[in-house]
Amino acid sequence: MAELTTLGQLLGAANSQYQVYDLGRRVQHIDMMAFHQIEALNSPYPFPIQGHAQFALVFWNQHGQEFVWFLKLPLDEQGLLNPAARSQFIKMVLEALGKDLTQALSDEQQQQLDNHPFAFRPSQEKLALFNALVRKQLGQQASGQYEFAMQYLSGQLPPDQWQQLGFQGLADICVRLNDLDHLQAVSYALENAAPQAIAALCQCLEHVSIPAVLADKLLAGLKTADDQKLFYLRALASCADASTQALQWLAGQQQLNADTLLTIAARNWTALKQEQARTIYLEALALQEQHFFNQIFADIVSIPALRNELLTAIRSPERSVQLSAAIGGLFRATRT
């Protein structure tokens, strides 16, 4: 029997079909061709977070029964999967289950799979978005929370009934934003729902692609919100142009504080592809504590789509004295 060295080979040997979803910065589907390139170590993981790839493998047997692995695998300095860690996980699975990955598990087998070092538990909203996205892509119905969420968002229920809303119902609507009158309901809710409901809705919107008309509404909400600016900002994560506008407006309001900078790095990082926004961000980041600068810069420079631009930016002769000092501190920390 040929040695199984990749997750794709492992699932193929078990006659399982599968899909892959990133659960690091945002919940999003990873194209199978792209995942094969990642597994072959030909491409860096596209959405690294804190030096790891956090993703879900959804696979199912010939009877349509579904199974999920939530995996957190380390990456090397080039952003490639660590093959030793992957091999360790594959070995553990084979020792526990053999090739029948969809068998009923004994208590001992379940304990082995629950306690391995590469497992992680997604946050509540990410888990809701993941479940909604999988249901949609597999052609399944939305959850039982969908109906109440739709009634609430569309104004059929009073705003003070927000306590009965669940993330899962909101997620079901957000991943189906282009279906029925979902966009209309979401737009209505952003202007009329309780603040708590709007915050939860924004946490779901940050993981889906939003149309320009909704991005405009969220950007307007960001500019008028008192204590919920970060929720509106996160909801713009899929829209690079709107995220850039939000970053520039926040800078003009002297509101690029540590929480805002962290949010942009984690969710709205596509704004940093734009040179002016990138310069504003790095200059604001340089005003923070040195350890915070080091941590955030190390995180965003690991994103393949930003790496070259960020490395060029920190070498710019036009950078400020503060940014030069922060970069010097970063280099000193890496040498110790």
pLDDT tens digits, 115-172: 678 989 999 999 999 999 999 988 899 999 999 999 999 999 999 999 999 999 999 9
- The 3-state DSSP class for residue 92 equals helix
- The 3-state DSSP class for residue 81 equals strand
pLDDT of residue 113: 65
pLDDT of residue 2: 65
Global pTM value:
0.92
pLDDT tens digits, 214-240: 999 999 999 999 889 999 999 999 999
- Kindly report the average pLDDT of the chain as a whole number: 92
Q: Report the distance separating Cα 127 and Cα 124, nearest Å.
A: 5
On the question of pLDDT at 1 being above 80, the answer is: no
Q: Report the distance separating Cα 174 and Cα 193, nearest Å.
A: 16
Residue 106 makes CB contacts below 8 A (sequence gap 6+) with none
pLDDT band at 335 (very low <50, low <70, confident <90, very high): confident
pLDDT tens digits, 299-326: 999 999 999 999 999 998 889 999 999 9
Rounded (5°) CA angle 148-206-19: 90
